[in-house]
Structure 1
Amino acid sequence: MTKPTYFAPAGGAPKQTELLTGRAVFTEAYAVIPKGVMMDIVTSYLPFWDGTRLWVLSRPLSGFAETFSQYIMEVAPGGGSDQPELDPHAEGALFIVEGEVTVELGGDVHVLHPGGFAFLPPSSGWRLRNRGSVTARFHWVRKAYEAVPGLDAPEPIFTNEQEIAPTPMPGTEGKWATTRFVDPLDLRHDMHVTIVTFEPGAVIPFAETHVMEHGLYVLEGKAVYRLNQDWVEVEAGDFMWLRAFCPQACYAGGPGKFRYLLYKDVNRHMKLSRY
């Protein structure tokens, strides 16, 4: 198996000689945040994180993401946090794209390298440090866990995508496949974070229209994505947010694979009241 590569932003600043024209799009149905806007000027910082900055890709907001937030974390050697998550109701998923991080949870130590994945239940008291010699970059997806009476909260998961066989979509001969870090039939989980892979020229051959909200970060390759009524070119380093029921389809452009990290909310009744 060929070892995957993952795009990660490095920051910087645009030159005064560059054109303003870009590919960023924000609509009521979807948003595209291209890699070119992830510069130093749009980074953020968090309490109790040392040697760390981040790019916020999504957050719960009226007219934007409703169910999740997603960050790209950049942690310098020696950096990290002993209090990374301040919300006791928040579950998290980490996906490593550069460097390595050490996660401590329940007395166990887990070293995650590129392709590494961690699911972190709410109130689990995890800690994270970059004990390596190079800057580490990883995605951190956060969601308020929706507990269900009679279902236990899921346990932590630590793995690497190299340890998981992709599941091909039926009828595609493996040209469209999903790497699933969580068993989709495990109803304790209320979100899935997966990796979707398209071989060159593969397609989503219909306009998917469904209740799940999506966050998609392109890890590798390029494609033309149909979002609502628009065709949008995307490439490695771009992020897309799709609200529930936004029609979506794509053509993988080649010459290599098109791969993205996908978030979606799952396995819960539709809320009928906020009270």
Structure 2
Amino acid sequence: MSYYTPRGGLPPQTALLTDRAVVKQAYTFIPKGALRDIVTSSLPGFTNTRSWILARPVAGSATTFAQLIVEIGPGGAAEAPERETSVEGVVFVTAGVLALTLDGERHALEAGGYAFLAPGVDWSLANEHGEPTTFHWIRKAYEPVDGIPVPASFVTREQDIEPRAMPDTDGAWAATRFVDPDDLAHDMHVNIVTFQPGGSIPFAETHVMEHGLYVLQGKAVYRLNEDWVECEAGDYMLLRAFCPQACYAGGPEPFRYLLYKDVNRQIRLT
């Protein structure tokens, strides 16, 4: 498995300013070249840590979630990363080894490691190794429903889950699903989508779900509303509800991205 991980730094003074970053009404595109040292944020309760905040609930951006790339240096830690008891989360590791303590049980998450963290659960993080560890942290306020239990926390790895091919695609388009899509206890999905070179989304998806897409590997041309945008490993796309989307995957390797979407809830009107 391959997982692109930003390293920060600054471009040389001779570099051109022109880049692909853009914010539009229907989507936001943050290219990997924008993930530099000076746009990182510190997080309360974390030591030897910096983060790139890719999405947050703010006018013109996300409405249902926040997404961060978090880099913890050697010896860094957080005893209480999540301070909002009604917020659930997903941690997905792209580099290094992350020590996760969940309800008193310790886990060593290497690249590909995945944890779903239920709202109100007790958990902590640490980097006990000599190299930085980097992970995506996706947070959402859990929306409870009477009669449906809150989902339990769990830890797994991408490597242990068989991707499911989409119907009528001959394996060109597949999804690695970390939870059962029919389980109504979950109100968000964080999956990995894989396209083989030449694979495509063969129609303009237009639906109520918000999307956060971080490209883990490969390259493609992605349809964002009325625009076709070249993207590659390290780029991030935020699609607002009903933004049409499609893609053609390039080569020579698979095109893969970490995908957030809000699911399984009635539209609230009051």
TM normalised by structure 2 equals 0.99
2: CA distance, partners of 1:224 / 1:147: 37
Deviation at 1:45, TM superposition (A): 0.4
2: CA distance, partners of 1:107 / 1:20: 48
Deviates further, 126-135 or 253-262: 126-135
2: CA distance, partners of 1:142 / 1:102: 19
Deviation at 1:236, TM superposition (A): 0.2
Structure 1 partner of 2:8: 11
Equivalent residue runs for 1:1-275 within 5 Å:
4-273=1-270
1: CA distance, partners of 2:126 / 2:219: 32
2: CA distance, partners of 1:103 / 1:137: 13
Instruction: Describe the SS at the equivalent of 1:223.
Output: strand
Question: How big is the alpha-carbon RMSD for the aligned residues of Structure 1 and Structure 2?
Answer: 0.6
Residues matched between the structures, number: 270
Instruction: Describe the SS at the equivalent of 2:114.
Output: strand
Give aligned-pair identity as a percent.
60
The Cα offsets for residues 190-243 of structure 1, whole Å up to 9 and x where unpaired, read as: 000000000000010000000100000000000000111000000000000000
1: CA distance, partners of 2:34 / 2:11: 9
2: CA distance, partners of 1:180 / 1:130: 27
Deviation at 1:63, TM superposition (A): 1.4
Instruction: Describe the SS at the equivalent of 1:193.
Output: strand
The Cα offsets for residues 107-148 of structure 1, whole Å up to 9 and x where unpaired, read as: 111110100000000110110111122100000000000011
Instruction: Describe the SS at the equivalent of 1:36.
Output: helix
1: CA distance, partners of 2:186 / 2:24: 29
The Cα offsets for residues 144-163 of structure 1, whole Å up to 9 and x where unpaired, read as: 00011111110011000010
2: CA distance, partners of 1:267 / 1:100: 33
TM normalised by structure 1 equals 0.97
Flag as ranges the 4+ runs of structure 1 deviating above 2 A.
none
1: CA distance, partners of 2:85 / 2:135: 21
Instruction: Describe the SS at the equivalent of 1:41.
Output: helix
Point out where structure 2 has 5 or more consecutive residues left out of the alignment.
none
Point out where structure 1 has 5 or more consecutive residues left out of the alignment.
none
Q: Which residue identity lines up with residue 218 of structure 2 in the other structure?
A: G
Q: Which residue identity lines up with residue 171 of structure 2 in the other structure?
A: G
Q: Which residue identity lines up with residue 225 of structure 2 in the other structure?
A: N
2: CA distance, partners of 1:186 / 1:111: 27
Q: Which residue identity lines up with residue 257 of structure 1 in the other structure?
A: P
The Cα offsets for residues 31-56 of structure 1, whole Å up to 9 and x where unpaired, read as: 10000010001000011100100000
Deviation at 1:185, TM superposition (A): 1.0
